[in-house]
Structure 1
């Protein structure tokens, strides 16, 4: 029996595009130096990395070191607030950089595949930041336990970020939304917050940040660091509530895959930026 956590194929590595334009060699070297300094500082912080103010600052510093501009459309917070329960934040998944961008908006607990915890340096930082790991290839019998744990966290007031597509795609519209996490939100009486993550370079959609197929993390990092004018846009949609996981999952998928709200429009319109090189 196929596990509900099992990974879909997602987009193939051939969907990845090399950055155009690229930064000159001197700027690329500066970015690597700045990133190494930022990651070393984050490691030295130890358990304090999980403190919201520190985690948000370090996430923004990583984006700044890589020359990635952060743009936030509409509401500035991921968590919906109110009611005592945490928020289930659900986003499309394009890149490892998605997590950094979302933590730069607001630190929340992240639900990630167990393999991330074994990545050199990144795994250590993820654990210290409070990431929760799941075995998506495990037995289906483990699923009720995983859902119950997520519901417990939400019920206790912790907001949790989940990527319900289960793997990475080159655009927000790729893949179905798995429903297990939405059942946890129903059980906890928690609000669901859909979020769209999109990448642009030179004002046009870009797949330079996509982390697809069996690609090596180092190769993906090199591509991101080499990109000139790369921006990540986070669009925070209206919160959702409901008592049916199927309806919640479909409503969240439609919101995430829809056209992003124009920046600076509406009563909550705003634009936040991390440093850009």
Structure 2
């Protein structure tokens, strides 16, 4: 059941760019086989995670997520700090925009963290089990009564020194536009007294932005994966922005607005896309803001 408070996005099937350069069918099939092999190998990875701790566990997970991106034919580019935590052992709330199922893979390829995700991801074949194994916190968007408990769980993890990631828009957008950052989960950072780390994800191809990896509209996971597998020279840029220190905002709404302002400057400051896409993106961004 949908509720008026549930996040929504005007981005739909028409926002997906179908003119991007693609690879041949044989190469796409080889990528699919490689990705399936890496994902199935993730079952063994979970066993390795159980017997490792600290930096060894982090490096093991990060290497696997990077390998999975490469299997899909995706190159990762990190801009800014190499890790989300400026101080090891100090909790941080990592806040990013939301475009695709690839977002989680890219974030964990920089630094494996505890992510908050919609409950539907738990049922995804293979990938859902691996994301769950990474200690993902699932949010049931249809049951608002559970939200305070989720915030309390996140605040506890942050106090214990964890890096916790959220997609503050609450739903996916095309990547040329973004929605309003929902303030509810920012309360966890305020309650725990930890900084917020804005992160901007940009999907690029041949030095221009592309919406082809977006997971929006009537998309199925399989259809979206097929598009990604066929893309030529896809790059995910992970822009790790400066921390927003505790005390810069008095309440969660001001904190969400401050983080969104920083993120939008990085997202829209120098995007190079065809003019009609820019105009559409700007209109959608205003509508969602």
Q: TM-score range by the shorter chain?
A: 0.7 to 0.9
In the alignment, the residues of structure 1 paired with residue 119 and residue 165 of structure 2 have an alpha-carbon distance, to the nearest angstrom, of 15
In the alignment, the residues of structure 2 paired with residue 19 and residue 70 of structure 1 have an alpha-carbon distance, to the nearest angstrom, of 22
Q: Tell me which residue corresponds to 1:115.
A: 120
Q: Following TM superposition, by how much is the alpha carbon of 1:222 offset from its aligned partner in structure 2, in angstroms? A: 0.4
SS at match of 2:266: coil
- The structure richer in helix per residue is 2
Does residue 63 of structure 2 align to residue 57 of structure 1?
Answer: yes
Bigger shift: residues 17-26 or 108-117? 17-26
Q: Tell me which residue corresponds to 1:128.
A: 133
SS at match of 1:60: helix
In the alignment, the residues of structure 1 paired with residue 13 and residue 193 of structure 2 have an alpha-carbon distance, to the nearest angstrom, of 38
Q: Tell me which residue corresponds to 2:186.
A: 182
Computed over aligned residues only, the root mean square deviation of the Cα atoms, in angstroms, reads 2.0
For residues 257-268 of structure 1, the aligned pairs below 5 Å read: 257-259=264-266
Q: Tell me which residue corresponds to 1:33.
A: 33
Q: Tell me which residue corresponds to 1:208.
A: 212
Distance 1:40 1:141, change over 3 A: closer
Match of 1:245 among 236, 252, 268: 252
Whether the 8 Å contact between 1:47 and 1:128 is mirrored in structure 2 is no
* Residues 182-206 of structure 1 deviation map (CA, whole Å, 9 limit, x = unaligned): 1110000011000000001111110
Q: Tell me which residue corresponds to 1:154.
A: 158
In the alignment, the residues of structure 1 paired with residue 7 and residue 217 of structure 2 have an alpha-carbon distance, to the nearest angstrom, of 11
Q: Tell me which residue corresponds to 1:66.
A: 72
Bigger shift: residues 186-195 or 170-179? 170-179
In the alignment, the residues of structure 2 paired with residue 141 and residue 259 of structure 1 have an alpha-carbon distance, to the nearest angstrom, of 34
Q: Tell me which residue corresponds to 1:144.
A: 148
Does residue 178 of structure 2 align to residue 171 of structure 1?
Answer: no
Whether the 8 Å contact between 1:186 and 1:244 is mirrored in structure 2 is yes
The count of residues paired between Structure 1 and Structure 2 equals 259
In the alignment, the residues of structure 2 paired with residue 218 and residue 19 of structure 1 have an alpha-carbon distance, to the nearest angstrom, of 19
For residues 81-96 of structure 1, the aligned pairs below 5 Å read: 81=87, 85-96=90-101
> TM-score scaled by structure 2?
0.84
Whether the 8 Å contact between 1:199 and 1:232 is mirrored in structure 2 is yes
* Residues 28-75 of structure 1 deviation map (CA, whole Å, 9 limit, x = unaligned): 122112111111111222343473222111110111111111111111
Distance 1:196 1:87, change over 3 A: same
> TM-score scaled by structure 1?
0.88
Q: Following TM superposition, by how much is the alpha carbon of 1:171 offset from its aligned partner in structure 2, in angstroms? A: 2.0
Q: Tell me which residue corresponds to 1:265.
A: none
In the alignment, the residues of structure 2 paired with residue 111 and residue 203 of structure 1 have an alpha-carbon distance, to the nearest angstrom, of 31
In the alignment, the residues of structure 2 paired with residue 75 and residue 38 of structure 1 have an alpha-carbon distance, to the nearest angstrom, of 27
Query: Which 5+ residue runs of structure 2 have no aligned equivalent?
Result: 51-56, 271-289
* Residues 80-107 of structure 1 deviation map (CA, whole Å, 9 limit, x = unaligned): 326x541000000000001101111111
SS at match of 1:32: helix
